[in-house]
Amino acid sequence: MNIKRRIIIDTDPGQDDAVAILMALASEELEVVGITAVAGNVPLELTEKNSRIIVALSGREDIPVYAGCSKPLGRELVTAEEVHGKTGLDGMELIEPSIPLEDKHAVDFIIETLRENNPGTITLCPLGPLTNIAQAMIQAPDIIERIQEIILMGGAYFEVGNVTPTAEFNIYVDPEAAKKVFSSGVPITVLPLDVTHQVLTTKTRMDKVRNIGNRTGKEVANLTTFFERFDKEKYGLDGAPLHDPCVIAYLLEPEIFEGRFVNVEIETESELTRGMTVADWWDVTDRNPNALFIGKVDSDRFFELLTERLRLLP
């Protein structure tokens, strides 16, 4: 009998977050213990609502959703409505979510889940700023050694930044939280822009998703059609990078990815390079490696996998 990988998805939906959540909920290899919302792409009141909308779309109304931190650890919130629209999920028909928001704070849920389960059995999958994860570590340092792994979307090195010349959005929004997480000693796998910019929503790929024949396929195609307009103009590409689903694809088929175990430090002091993930790709320092930094992916297989999983949903 295969043992399911038990995960908590920490998220700030976001069209690509939505696709990642749907992909995870369609995958029988994964047990989504809960979804925790954080402020990021849009404010918290929208990210928690969007999380519940996506869970309802998947038909998995058994999945609990928790609201977490409404702002970064020590800074004002920066959002990205220019990319994701005012709702964060512009492009799809939004209805009031049919599932309630859990009363418990997301940080408390993360802490309690890690304490109540055997060490090394819960993987954290952050798709947005790392505020909830860092706050849980600050409030309950004992949970750090209980985390199986953190697999996150964030950062960049060779692809530089998408919100400043040097910083990727998720890390830029709360660099202090990222610094706390990267210095925690927990095994970390990073899916940075270096790899996410290789998985582009071309018309051929998304036509296959739209033509799956279910509601989920149509809504995902609608979401990406809205989402890609910004990146097509910004990067001059044939489609938009599907950032966050890379985390779920890595959980399912890590063999289609390649990377290096390197040291990654987070810049928090400089206004010029705030939020930069300084990856020692060429091993030119004496700093100890602390993260598997992914640089390549089989993008065709990625989209085959995504389409296979979305086909399983309503």
Q: Is the pLDDT of residue 223 over 60?
A: yes
Supply the CATH number for residue 190's domain. 3.90.245.10
pLDDT number for residue 233: 74
Model confidence, pTM:
0.97
Comparing C-alpha atoms, which of 155, 42, 24, 121 is closest to residue 89? 42
Comparing C-alpha atoms, which of 5, 87, 6 is closest to residue 48? 87
Query: Which helix or strand (DSSP H or E) is residue 108 part of?
Result: helix 106-116
Q: Is the pLDDT of residue 299 over 90?
A: yes
Q: Is the pLDDT of residue 1 over 60?
A: no
pLDDT number for residue 226: 85
Percentage of the chain exceeding pLDDT 70: 99
Q: Is the pLDDT of residue 252 over 90?
A: yes
Tell me how many domains the chain contains: 1
Active site residues: 243
309 falls in which pLDDT band (50, 70, 90)? very high
Interval 18-25 mean pLDDT: 98
User: What is the span of the domain harbouring residue 160?
Assistant: 5-310
Using one digit for the tens of pLDDT, what is the confidence trace for 130-141?
Answer: 999 999 999 999
Comparing C-alpha atoms, which of 163, 156, 191 is closest to residue 297? 191
Interval 257-270 mean pLDDT: 98
What is the spatial distance between Cα 165 and Cα 220, in angstroms, rounded to a whole number?
30
Q: Is the pLDDT of residue 277 over 90?
A: yes
What is the spatial distance between Cα 258 and Cα 262, in angstroms, rounded to a whole number?
13
